[in-house]
Amino acid sequence: MPSAIVRVTEVVDLDGVRQVRAARAGDAHAFELLAGTVLPSAYRLSAAILGSQVDAADATQNALIAAWRELPNLRNDGAFEPWFRRILVNECRMQLRRRSRSRELPNAEEAAAVVPDIASAAALARIEALDSLEGAFEQLEADDRVVVALHYLLDRPIAEIADVLHMPNGTVKWRLHRAREVLHRALENQS
Amino acid sequence: MTTPDRTEELVRAMLARRAGGTVPDWLLAETMRQVVQGRQSRRRASGPFGGPDGARLALIAAVALSLLALASVLAAGAFLRRDDDLLEPPALVVDGPSPSGASDASFTPEASGDTHFPPSTPAAAESVVVPATAKPVADVLNTDSLAVVTPDGDGLRVRSQPGLAADSTRLEPLLASGTRVLIVGGPVQADGFAWYEVLVDPGQEDLFGWVAAGKDANVWIRADPPDCPDALDVPALRATPTLELFVCFGSAPLTMRTSSPLLGWNADTGDPTETSARPCADGSCGEPVWMYDTALLTRWRDGDTSVPAAIEGDKLAIMNTHGPLTPIRVTIALDAPSAQECRPPERSDQSTSEAVIRCRLRFVVLDAAPGRPEVFENTLATSDTDIEVWGAPGGDDANVAYTIPAVAAFYVDEIRPASADDAWVAVTPEDEAIGAYGWVYAGPGEPRLQTITVECPGPDAPGELEALSPVRRLVCSDGSPVDMTMSPPPPAPPAP
């Protein structure tokens, strides 16, 4: 299926480790390069978890600022990205816990932005299925949402998700299984 | 019944839909503004005596200084580089351009009046006079070349001035063996040493100052030829550190296509040359501000290749006044002429020489122009204005066949580039009542063409595919043959 034009902004990896070192030493320009590298995937992940582009921008921004502040504590210069992902996921979890359930659906303007301009009947049926699925996803616990997003959006393996969330592998598997059941049931009910 | 596989596929699609928004242009800029604002507090907190561990650090520093002094007394010869006051008279006499031929003559391009750039200024090797009894400390190193700290030079001191005088501040940290430096100036003969002005590889220590090249037969820095790519192109840009690109290619231009930069423009005033809040907005950068206010240029449809670049106002206006669906053809180069105008921020201890070399290491947009609107073969597209359709490519006005109204969808069958910036696009309107196969001109200033996302049914729903219009079926079949009959359906067979 052809995809729409997507602006992806990533930094050429001239030397990621050097950039991390320079940023840790206080070089804001080096940090901007690092931030540019992780920004697209970070924004995608937080938008998927939070369901709101406004909240996704907030979470991504907060996570980047926290990363800048905490960078001197990063032990492994080569592990910036997973380290940053942990900060981002924690920020998303905090946002989910802070806001009320009624606030969790994307507003109308944002929802309209993701609906194709020209939709066939078949596409509309698919959109309805996705809407049902999204409704069920919104009802998942914060950690379950994170697990599902990391696994199905970013294709992260169980072990890495466990590391990000500081959970045993078995707990991640169980949460993934439980979330999948909820989502599957939602589709069954919809159809 | 929904199968587990179908559920997974739909979960992925749902997540992709939620994640599908474009990263706001302002996000990185605003984040960096806050980062820069917070930088001072972070520096204060982490300074040697400013944080909660200040007293402990002060104690450690005092102990270290005492040990260093003791070690200097016990083994002065072994610590010459660290204890500069014990250095011996010079073994090397440099006959520079100074009228007096004094040993502190400077060979920097600036001092000799040679300010052109690039290529690098060859050092006047023939002007170095070496006493018959002395060994040279090293080959003379060229300006704008790379050098590396040798194992003998491990622990090399960087100073703010050439020489050992009190006004030559000792900078930290000491350079370890293997540290790479860019030669910016020198050699300057002072206090018995040949000194080079260097920028330490920003990825290693990020220092700027002067280092001594060696003593007697001990060479502390030696030339370190770069591993140059064959050509300055996108693969080279992706794989080669900036220092190497600078040394290998100087100011050679590179043309690439990019989208609008991540440099937000001021939506309040509507002035596309006036940037919104950026790290430099608080006056913490040097002059000219635009040289410091770099933006990320991402190669068109290539998320793996981006480059930070400085963009002057007129180029920024061109880039900002075209939407994200119009690629911008930019020509960028390191070592731009405008880098020579760089000056350090006020209240900074940076020298003009340092400001200039740091600017020379930045890519600068030399030229920007809108490229042809972007559409892709085997997709559905539309335009926000009416577009004329020609019977054949070429632009003969007599050949205009019909007009596709704004917003109507059409299939893009073929793109035939006419030049670097325009193309003829073969189209078929989705609504066959509008017209048949024809050619649309796509170039700068022409009605913008936009790709439409088509939601295709999955492989387990062939009936849904049949329900689509012929051009959508073509898109969803990814170019494989489908029934494209666009004439009226055959008459129904007569009733028995």
What ipTM does the predicted assembly reach?
0.78
Stretch B331-336: mean pLDDT? 93
Hey, is the C-beta of A54 within 8 angstroms of any chain B C-beta?
Answer: no
Compute the nearest-CA separation of A90 from chain B (Å).
Answer: 18
Lowest mean pLDDT among A34-38, B104-108, B195-199, B340-344: B104-108
Out of A12, A18, A28, name the one closest to residue B307 (CB).
A12
- pLDDT for the residue A98: 67
**How far is the alpha carbon of B154 from chain A, nearest alpha carbon, in Å?**
20
d(CA A23, CA A33): 9
Residues above pLDDT 90, as percent of chain B: 19
pTM over 0.90: no
Order of all β-strands in the sheet with B328-333? B254-258, B328-333, B363-370, B306-310, B295-298
Q: Give tens-digit pLDDT for B58-95.
A: 444 444 444 544 444 333 333 334 334 322 222 222 22
Range with the largest mean pLDDT of A15-29, A32-46, B107-121? A32-46
How does pLDDT run across A46-69, given as a tens digit for each residue? 989 888 888 888 889 889 988 888
Q: Nearest Cα to B221, choosing from B150, B134, B157?
A: B150
**Pairing state of beta strands B400-404 and B170-175?**
unpaired
Report the residue of B14, B39, B304 to disrupt the A interface, i.e. the one with the largest count of A CBs within 10 Å.
B14
Does any CB of chain B come closer than 8 Å to the CB of residue A155? no
pLDDT digits (tens, 9 = 90+) for B432-487: 899 888 998 887 666 677 778 788 887 777 778 788 888 888 888 765 544 433 33
Contacts of B384 in chain A (CB under 8 A): none
d(C-alpha B45, C-alpha B39), whole Å: 10
**Pairwise pLDDT comparison (B209 vs B257), residue with the higher score:** B209
Tell me how far apart the alpha carbons of residues B360 and B291 are, in angstroms, rounded to a whole number: 10
- Which H/E stretch holds residue B199? strand B193-200
CB pairs under 8 A between A and B: 223
**What integer pLDDT is reported at residue B73 of this predicted model?**
38
Asked if the Cβ–Cβ distance from B7 to A187 is below 8 Å, we say yes
Place B424 in a pLDDT band, splitting at 50, 70 and 90. confident
Tens-place pLDDT, residues B348-386: 888 999 999 999 999 999 988 876 656 777 888 888 888
Q: Across the interface, do A5 and B452 touch by the CB < 8 Å criterion?
A: no
Q: Do B455 and A126 touch (CB under 8 A)?
A: yes
DSSP B371-390: -PPP--TTEEEEESS-EEEE
CB B294 within 8 A of CB B308: yes
Q: Are residues A32 and B28, on separate chains, in Cβ contact within 8 Å?
A: yes
What tokens were used for B116? 């052109």
Q: Does A16 touch chain B (CB under 8 A)?
A: no
pLDDT at residue B444 in the model: 64
